[in-house]
Amino acid sequence: MILTVTLNPAIDKILIVDTFEVHKLHRLQSGEMSMVSAGGKGVNIAQLLAKLNHEVIASGFAGGHSGHMLCDAIREQGITTNFIFTQGATRTNISILDRKNETLTEINDFGQEISEEDMRFFIENFERLLSRVQVIVIAGSLPRGVSPEIYIELIQKARKKGKKVIIHTSPKHMDILLEAQPFLINPDMRSDHTLFGQTVDGVDQFLEAGEDILRKCPESQFVIFTHRLENVVAVTRSMGYVMRPKDMNIVNMLGYGDAYLGGFIHALEQGYSVKNTLQYASAAGLTDVEDIHKEILDVSKIDSNLYRIEIDEIKL
């Protein structure tokens, strides 16, 4: 059983238009698309894992009519929901994909503000769920009113019970993560390329930064930089790995990181070797970006894309 934690989930509204212009009324034409789905990183990961036949509990905060919509959509995928409902409403994130100009415009709302009391109730609930699950994924942004120290509390509670925690969050919280020491750290560096105040980019710097983080986190096992699709870098205690997808044809970047982590967890749960796990994760990411939809519709395509992932192994 896998638990996903999405503290700030969303309803994703995705519009796919031929040309997007500001200051203009757009009426969707045939061939263009409008899609509404449950979203937020942890939720997206839960949906892929459910498609890969895992038992999943999706947790976090929700609220209002949109919160009920979110939970209904998640349950439709066969996932168990355990969201704490609070005052305020689950946010809506809007993405506009312009096919002709190949641009992606995203507007992410703030989301609900979470009170300390609701957070306490969430933590009580989280602790109870730990005995039922093996892997916990904490992914996505923090809602207003919640301090990043919450990561330390959640991760340490899970670690005490011997559970693996996989975290995907902004690199600005890296100091906190060094203290919390999750099993896997996947910094979300799509819009923030700095780690500990320094710009980090390129394979060599990723390998160095990963080694540095693992040195400081004796309990952590993986640091993975996924945002450069052409060179995904993973660092373990003894090895560095660079994954390169061949002949990638990017159609829609939305959901790429979530597909990667969902693929990683699936392979980990299947008991694959480290190399095969990383290969499967990258194949899931590749399968996601080559389809117009945010999520992977046909999971068998991941297996057929495995051969397209080249892996360089580097002894550290």
Partner 1 sequence: MKKVCDYIHKDISCVNEKSSLRRVINTMKLHRLSALPVVNMLGEYVGCISEQDILNAAVPTYMKSMLDTSFMAGLDQITIHLHRKLDENVVQFVDVNYPSVSPDDSMSYAADLLYRLKGTILPVVDGKTLIGLLTRIEILSVSLDPTI
Summarize as ranges the residues that interact with partner 1 (CB under 8 A): 57, 63, 68, 71, 75, 78-83, 85-87, 121, 124-125, 128-129, 131-132
Shortest distance, position 116 Cβ to partner 1, whole Å: 13
Write out the two tokens for 311: 């892996």
DSSP 9: -
Element (H, E) at 239: strand 239-245
Residue 57 or 243: the one with the smaller Cβ distance to partner 1 is 57
Shortest distance, position 147 Cβ to partner 1, whole Å: 22
From 55, 81, 49, select the one nearest 68 (Cα to Cα): 81
Shortest distance, position 108 Cβ to partner 1, whole Å: 23
CB atoms within 10 A of CB 306: 15
Residue 72 or 149: the one with the smaller Cβ distance to partner 1 is 72
The CA distance from 168 to 127, in Å, is 20
Residue 20 or 122: the one with the smaller Cβ distance to partner 1 is 122
User: Which residues pair with residue 2 across a beta bridge?
Assistant: 56, 135
From 183, 187, 241, 193, select the one nearest 214 (Cα to Cα): 183
Residue 121 or 196: the one with the smaller Cβ distance to partner 1 is 121
Instruction: Enumerate residues 6+ apart whose C-beta is below 8 A from 63.
Output: 85, 86, 87, 88, 89, 90, 112
Shortest distance, position 122 Cβ to partner 1, whole Å: 12
Residue 76 or 298: the one with the smaller Cβ distance to partner 1 is 76
Write out the two tokens for 107: 């507007």
The CA distance from 240 to 5, in Å, is 28
Residue 131 or 191: the one with the smaller Cβ distance to partner 1 is 131
From 257, 222, 261, 40, select the one nearest 136 (Cα to Cα): 261
The CA distance from 213 to 100, in Å, is 41
Shortest distance, position 83 Cβ to partner 1, whole Å: 7
Residue 30 or 131: the one with the smaller Cβ distance to partner 1 is 131
From 121, 246, 108, select the one nearest 188 (Cα to Cα): 108
CB 202, CB 174: distance < 8 Å: no
Write out the two tokens for 81: 């929901």
Shortest distance, position 44 Cβ to partner 1, whole Å: 18
Shortest distance, position 6 Cβ to partner 1, whole Å: 15
Shortest distance, position 70 Cβ to partner 1, whole Å: 12
Amino acid at 299: V
DSSP 66: H
Amino acid at 52: L
Residue 57 or 209: the one with the smaller Cβ distance to partner 1 is 57
